[in-house]
Structure 1
Amino acid sequence: MGQERLLERANEKFEQYSFSPAIDIYKKVLDKGYVSAEVLKKLGNAYYFNADYKEAAAIFERLVKEFPENVEEEEFFKYAQSLKSLGDYDASQKVMDQFLEMTSGDRRALNLDRARDYMAEIRKNSGRYTISDFPQNTEYSEFAPSFYEQGLIFASDRDTGNLAKYRHTWNSKDFLDLYEIKGEIKKGVGVVKLGDNINTRLHESTSITTKDGNIMYFTRNNVVEGKYAKDAEGFIRLKIFRAKRIDGQWLEIEDLPFNSDAYSVAHPALSPDEKTLYFASDMPGSIGASDIFMVTINDDGTFGAPENLGPNINTEARETFPFVTANETLYFSSDGHPGLGGLDIFGTKIKRKDFTGNVMNVGEPANSNKDDFTYIIDEETKEGFFASNREGGLGNDDIYAFVENEPLIFDCVQKITGTVRDKISNMVLVGATVKVLNEDNEELTTTFTDSNGEYSLVLDCNQGNFVRALMEGYTPFEEYIGVSDGKPKIIDFYLERDQVTAGYGDDLAKLLQLSTIYFAFDKYDITKRSEIEIQKVIAAMEKYPSLKIKVNAHTDSRGPAAYNLWLSQKRAEATVAYMIAKGIAADRLSSEGYGETRPLNECVDGVRCSAEKHDVNRRSEFIIQE
């Protein structure tokens, strides 16, 4: 027979046997009562990726009940998602709780109360600032800078001589005034007190003005008819006042309606559209010693009801001195979030009033082991100011100027790279899709493999993600990545064909991805463990009655060569006998033992090899015959 005819016949056979190892084979094996964790996983995944959630849920349920020690995170997730898709939300949540328990080890890595390495996070954001002195610092206290027209407004007790050591508490008794720097800030030209309507014999501190400079919100001691007003415990609380600039003077100063004699409201900040006022308070509904709140400013100048920003931002300790940038980044000071000591400065994105984003320490040198607070920044120029009582200052509190050289990294970004290959041939798959999905099965990003079968993507490592590889003609596969430290990770995918087409000379052991057919030492009896693997071959032969197989058995090089040859022949014959006993006609089967004569690696007589390398040569082949 000529070469062309042989090739033609081989192609005919190649197209003749086509089956799905994921469903056709594994379902038939399972229906016969041969069950293992691997079979259930394969079948459950096949149903899941084909959106047959009813069958997927049933198979994953069996997996969890019969092989609980073999269930991995991905199976719990897919089981929960399958139940959710069927509308069984209660059962889905119970399974999802098990999934979250399994992934809690990853979450501990980035959670302070579970040994989170927060110092590594602080170091990551450190070194981004160039710090310089503020020309207007004195031996007294200067703090609370705020942008005003071309200059600044800041608070100081320079004219009263009362050091502001109480300025972090709600019962500040020292006399602070507000000052304006006119002209170029760095030169400190034209520093003047604001008018008497703003500055009184009482305490005024933090302030914010509208962009047009016509409305100011500022903090002042609680006062009634020119006298301090104390709460039930004898403390003088703080309030926010609003003033209007009319003909160059601050007039119509009013006490905001959500102020109280019983608690403090202080440190105002405005949203970019100036329709929301942020502030600090210990009002009812606070989580800690002081929380950050927001309140809507209505078009007619009235206010809505104050709202707490929630537990992602507020802690049981102090959150205070908010500032909101043009791009809606909220900066504030806290001694409740992990820091370097005292109050540290933190940032978080709050676009669309979403207060669930990562709260990030801005790092050194803006933060120190002392109190660091009243941070402001112009995102366009990258210039800003903050105050600190750190060592080396002129007074109790000093203002520092800075330039931000690199942006604050809010998100934990992890780079994932790898290749996508055919599991059988090891060929790279060009144009394969690689997706990132969150734990709610929502697609976050998609990329494709290049001409080398390689892909690259980034994901948010502050949450659990699934990286899924897909290719037409292949069964999808995914890997779960829990919360991590953001270090780059390589994930190579080996996809199985959803339809395996086989022909003359192909090894069904490879096409079906059979596990090793194990025999007891020095024995040739079929073990329970190996029955399941052989049943997969039987399933393929039952589907295609014309399929003929030759069973080849191989040993490793350990032991005498003649004995290995005899033993391998016995094992090949035992495999054939088992298949005949299960209903496969004898004329469709043949066998041969090769002993140690056909190794797949260098492990021959006289060569020292590990047990793992020897195991590669201990194999059974199921070769398709003409």
Structure 2
Amino acid sequence: MTFIQKITATITIYTLLLTCSSIVGQEKKVQKVTDNFNKYAYAEAIESYESLLEQGFTDLEIFKNLGNANYFNANYQDAAKWYGKLFDLENPEVASEYLYRYAQSLKSIENYAESDKWMKKLELAKEKDNRLSKYINNDDYLKTIKENSGRYKIKNLDINSSSSDFAPSLNGKQLIFSTARDSGLFAKRIHNWNNKSFLNLYSADISENGELSNPKQLSGLLNKKTHESSTAFTKDGNTMYFTRNNSKNGKFSRDDEGVSRLKIYRSKLKNGEWSNIEELPFNGENYSVAHPALNADESKLYFASDMEGTLGASDIFVVEINTDGSFGPPKNLGPGINTESRETFPFVTEANILYFASDGHPGLGGLDIFAANLEDSEISTVINLGSPINTPEDDFSFIFNETSKTGYFASNRKEGKGDDDIYSFKETKDLNFEFESTLDGVVKNLENGAILPNATVEIKNIEGSIIATAKTDETGYFNIPFKSTTKELSTVITLAEYEVGGRSFTPNKNGITLEFLLAPKANKVGLGEDVAKYLNMPMIYFDFDKSNIRPDAALELDKIVAFMNEYPEVNIEIGSHTDSRGNDYYNLSLSEKRAQATRSYLIDMGIDSSRLSAKGYGETQLTNNCGNSAENSIECGKAQHELNRRSEFIIVK
């Protein structure tokens, strides 16, 4: 786990003091270690505390700080051990935060059952905790994460070193990242946070096939004797935002409390060099601001901070970027995103999806990567990306191109090359957000406007599955609350002695109201007639050279399903047709595939296979003169040919 992560996550809230010992010598030893801890010299503190334990010290504060020192260094195995010893003490007086950290440490070593026990103890503490409510509302979170897993193929990059490499960003055909590798040009610079080199910004070239090469350090104007990390670039490549520690004259500096805060800077590219480096106005001397990320139109800057108004260790904020380059006031993204723990490393896609790292939402352990839809003003759904992106270790700094379905992230998982490694990934299955909405409406007689009670209203998703159903009341009114992961929905309305009705619709989170008009059945459809015409359905069209059921066709086929459910004695032959392009044999084969695909869809929707037959007619029954023979053909466009790529539903019994 990197310095940037840890200091962002822990600034100002962990000022821990050891209780005084009655023995002056012991007091001095404990105080010295405490001073190291309070100055974030965690590596030295761990070594000193363990030395004290060997001398027989069992002070409650030593166990607390040993747990914390390891926790903030991502040594979760040791953190769990020391927190365990802390809670083995008789009635240890500790804040409930230690319950959460212990539960999180246990989760990070994959002891999920024991972790859940300690989360329940946090619940018994009856303290208001956003993390606890998210856990209670999703106590089957491991199953949910498993369902979200398997959507990515990942690869460890060749440019990774044996040190820490993380925080990737894209600037044209280059990957920019932060690294603790030693340049070899100067003596190795060590910081006492974790005894690792200072972080510098590097670039690597991206080839046409996505391979990375030639890692090299960026300009010395950017890389000082401080930590530099977490970059974001404008699309034109002329402006960069980046994170840096407090510094004086280019050197690492601390405030009066011994803490080096983080700040975001902006730099402009001039004559091929990054210059005009300026500190952003919402930085502070008593809090940290880090990990910049731009939205698609570069009108907003997202970042992580522990500034005033933060809900936990670090929260994600956003500021407006004005047309003159100035900034609006920081705005906290609220409890839908932020918890009492660490939310950090934001990234926003073209579709306004926010990806971020957190150890406050239900996850696999350590920092996990989550996604939320910023179009949802209330941010009601946060999705854990699941494995292989997330592991029991720390996974963070995720970036993603929605067009190519590719991206990068960092992780300190055990199989990596260094402390933190950068991985590339390919998304193989789209991320879908479930949202809640309602459909209200009324069903009436098409001919006279009379209300129609007891009509069945079904809502179906794009796969044709029923996601909600209701019946109209005595006033013809219905109200259906539903949940969906897609905004391509349809309704099917059925009522005895009326034709099947319905329509497709696009919901919104505020709900939608529709009116449905059903036509009375004049007479039953007869033998040899096309049910599609009887139901006033548009033709079931296919894409050129394809046999799969299109989403718009699936919505119409649901009306055939409703008809056959209403008339269980009816058998239907599905006749599928092609246009005249292609040879006769190929078209006959293609139409047979389309007929069978249509039949399979109806069977999947519950229609008995014995009631359905299917036949492909190729181009033998064209609906217009778009044929191949010279005497009856005309020049036809795409739309005219499409009229022949159809399916019909003929009653044969």
Instruction: With the length of structure 2 as denominator, give the TM-score of the two structures.
Output: 0.48
Partner of 1:148 in structure 2? 171
Contact 1:149–1:213, Cα closer than 8 Å, also in 2: yes
Partner of 2:322 in structure 1? 298
Structure-2 change in CA distance of 1:239 and 1:446 (3 Å): same
Percentage identity across aligned positions? 44
Query: Quick check: 1:191 aligned with 2:215?
Result: yes
Contact 1:345–1:361, Cα closer than 8 Å, also in 2: yes
Contact 1:242–1:255, Cα closer than 8 Å, also in 2: yes
Which has the larger Rg? 1
Query: Quick check: 1:283 aligned with 2:307?
Result: yes
- The amino acid that maps onto 1:240 is I
Distance 1:293 1:428 in 2: 46
Partner of 2:234 in structure 1? 210
Query: Quick check: 1:272 aligned with 2:296?
Result: yes
SS in 2 for 1:449: strand
Partner of 2:22 in structure 1? none
Q: Once the 2 structures are TM-superposed, how far is the Cα of residue 166 of structure 1 from its aligned partner? A: 5.5
Partner of 1:134 in structure 2? 157
Q: Once the 2 structures are TM-superposed, how far is the Cα of residue 231 of structure 1 from its aligned partner? A: 2.9
Q: Once the 2 structures are TM-superposed, how far is the Cα of residue 354 of structure 1 from its aligned partner? A: 2.5
Partner of 2:422 in structure 1? 399
Distance 1:447 1:469 in 2: 11
SS in 2 for 1:201: coil
Cα shift readout 1:599-624 (whole Å, capped 9, x = no counterpart): xxxxxxxxxxxxxxxxxxxxxxxxxx
* Structure 1 residues 384-395: aligned runs within 5 Å: 384-395=407-418
SS in 2 for 1:112: helix
Q: Once the 2 structures are TM-superposed, how far is the Cα of residue 188 of structure 1 from its aligned partner? A: 2.3
SS in 1 for 2:213: coil
- The amino acid that maps onto 1:116 is D
Distance 1:114 1:294 in 2: 27
- The amino acid that maps onto 1:140 is S
* Structure 1 residues 79-478: aligned runs within 5 Å: 112-114=135-137, 116-159=139-182, 174-184=197-207, 186-351=210-375, 354-411=377-434, 447-449=491-493
Structure-2 change in CA distance of 1:466 and 1:382 (3 Å): closer
Q: Once the 2 structures are TM-superposed, how far is the Cα of residue 165 of structure 1 from its aligned partner? A: 10
Of residues 313-322 and 405-414 in structure 1, the stretch that sits farther from structure 2 once superposed is 405-414
Contact 2:444–2:517, Cα closer than 8 Å, also in 1: no
Q: Once the 2 structures are TM-superposed, how far is the Cα of residue 327 of structure 1 from its aligned partner? A: 1.1
Structure-2 change in CA distance of 1:133 and 1:235 (3 Å): same
- The amino acid that maps onto 1:350 is L
Cα shift readout 1:491-543 (whole Å, capped 9, x = no counterpart): xxxxxxxxxxxxxxxxxxxxxxxxxxxxxxxxxxxxxxxxxxxxxxxxxxxxx
Distance 1:395 1:470 in 2: 62
Cα shift readout 1:52-74 (whole Å, capped 9, x = no counterpart): xxxxxxxxxxxxxxxxxxxxxxx
Structure-2 change in CA distance of 1:162 and 1:452 (3 Å): farther
- The amino acid that maps onto 2:168 is P
Q: Once the 2 structures are TM-superposed, how far is the Cα of residue 183 of structure 1 from its aligned partner? A: 3.9
Distance 1:314 1:114 in 2: 16
Contact 1:279–1:294, Cα closer than 8 Å, also in 2: yes
Cα shift readout 1:558-601 (whole Å, capped 9, x = no counterpart): xxxxxxxxxxxxxxxxxxxxxxxxxxxxxxxxxxxxxxxxxxxx
Q: Once the 2 structures are TM-superposed, how far is the Cα of residue 291 of structure 1 from its aligned partner? A: 0.3
- The amino acid that maps onto 1:307 is K
Cα shift readout 1:197-217 (whole Å, capped 9, x = no counterpart): 111121101100000000000
Distance 2:244 2:510 in 1: 46
Distance 1:428 1:133 in 2: 53
Of residues 183-192 and 245-254 in structure 1, the stretch that sits farther from structure 2 once superposed is 183-192
- The amino acid that maps onto 1:178 is L
- The amino acid that maps onto 1:230 is R
- The amino acid that maps onto 2:372 is T
RMSD: 4.2
Contact 2:491–2:502, Cα closer than 8 Å, also in 1: yes
Contact 1:434–1:449, Cα closer than 8 Å, also in 2: no
Contact 1:290–1:319, Cα closer than 8 Å, also in 2: yes
Stretches of structure 2 that go unaligned for 5 or more consecutive residues are 1-132, 446-451, 459-470, 483-487, 520-653
Distance 1:464 1:307 in 2: 24
Distance 1:166 1:454 in 2: 67
Partner of 1:516 in structure 2? none
Distance 2:455 2:250 in 1: 84
Superposition misfits of 4+ residues, deviation over 4 angstroms = 160-167, 412-416, 424-439, 450-461, 463-473
Structure-2 change in CA distance of 1:456 and 1:306 (3 Å): same
Structure-2 change in CA distance of 1:453 and 1:285 (3 Å): same
Contact 1:435–1:469, Cα closer than 8 Å, also in 2: no
Distance 1:425 1:112 in 2: 42
Contact 1:241–1:253, Cα closer than 8 Å, also in 2: yes
Contact 1:436–1:459, Cα closer than 8 Å, also in 2: no
Structure-2 change in CA distance of 1:312 and 1:183 (3 Å): closer
Structure-2 change in CA distance of 1:247 and 1:308 (3 Å): same
Structure-2 change in CA distance of 1:415 and 1:219 (3 Å): same
Distance 2:366 2:212 in 1: 29
Structure-2 change in CA distance of 1:111 and 1:200 (3 Å): closer
- The amino acid that maps onto 1:205 is S
- The amino acid that maps onto 1:312 is G
Contact 2:438–2:512, Cα closer than 8 Å, also in 1: no
Cα shift readout 1:269-293 (whole Å, capped 9, x = no counterpart): 0011111110000001100000000
Distance 2:172 2:344 in 1: 24
Instruction: With the length of structure 1 as denominator, give the TM-score of the two structures.
Output: 0.50
Q: Once the 2 structures are TM-superposed, how far is the Cα of residue 162 of structure 1 from its aligned partner? A: 6.9
Structure-2 change in CA distance of 1:205 and 1:195 (3 Å): same
Contact 2:436–2:481, Cα closer than 8 Å, also in 1: no
- The amino acid that maps onto 1:132 is K
Distance 1:137 1:253 in 2: 28
Contact 1:141–1:163, Cα closer than 8 Å, also in 2: no
Q: Once the 2 structures are TM-superposed, how far is the Cα of residue 307 of structure 1 from its aligned partner? A: 0.9
* Structure 1 residues 522-541: aligned runs within 5 Å: none
Cα shift readout 1:39-97 (whole Å, capped 9, x = no counterpart): xxxxxxxxxxxxxxxxxxxxxxxxxxxxxxxxxxxxxxxxxxxxxxxxxxxxxxxxxxx
Contact 2:437–2:510, Cα closer than 8 Å, also in 1: no
Contact 1:243–1:254, Cα closer than 8 Å, also in 2: yes
Distance 2:328 2:231 in 1: 20
Distance 2:332 2:454 in 1: 56
